[in-house]
């Protein structure tokens, strides 16, 4: 069983993105959709992208999981909005965690899911449009 964390163990930024998540929702006509999950903790993230001229013009997410999972999803959407696909693919779990002023070590897996959701959504877009190899093959 995962130990309970106290609110003080989360940065103000994590708490803000958990309590007031940005870009929550679904894009019905999304150009790319990525869904990832962690079977150990049960968290599931789904990310939706609109892409025009190789730039992410809109991003939404749905996350079913803990507060850290919601916060990392929210931050990931802010980090990739307006970026080219190549720039978005450079976003790592560490980038997401650092942008949130850190995560407790036991919650770092949530930032892994955020990174994987970005890559999965971009991969889905590329496959739909016959645009090159799987981004996860790198």
Residues annotated as catalytic are 41, 110
Are 72 and 100 contacting, i.e. CB atoms less than 8 angstroms apart? yes
Instruction: Locate all alpha helices (DSSP H) within the chain, ordered by sequence.
Output: 12-19, 67-80, 85-89, 93-99, 108-128
In order of 12, 74, 79, the CA distances from 90 in angstroms are 25, 17, 11
């Amino acid at each position: 069983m995962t130990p309970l964390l106290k609110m003080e163990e989360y940065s103000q930024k994590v708490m803000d993105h958990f309590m007031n998540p940005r870009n929550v929702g679904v894009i019905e006509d999304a150009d790319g959709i990525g869904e990832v999950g962690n079977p150990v903790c049960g968290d599931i993230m789904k990310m939706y992208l609109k892409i025009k001229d190789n730039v992410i013009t809109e991003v939404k997410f749905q996350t079913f999981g803990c507060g850290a999972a919601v916060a990392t999803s929210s931050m990931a959407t802010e980090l990739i909005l307006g970026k080219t696909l190549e720039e978005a693919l450079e976003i790592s779990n560490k980038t997401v965690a650092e942008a949130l002023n850190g995560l407790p070590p036991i919650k770092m897996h949530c930032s892994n899911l955020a990174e994987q959701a970005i890559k999965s959504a971009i991969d889905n877009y590329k496959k739909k449009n016959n645009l090159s190899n799987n981004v996860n093959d790198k």
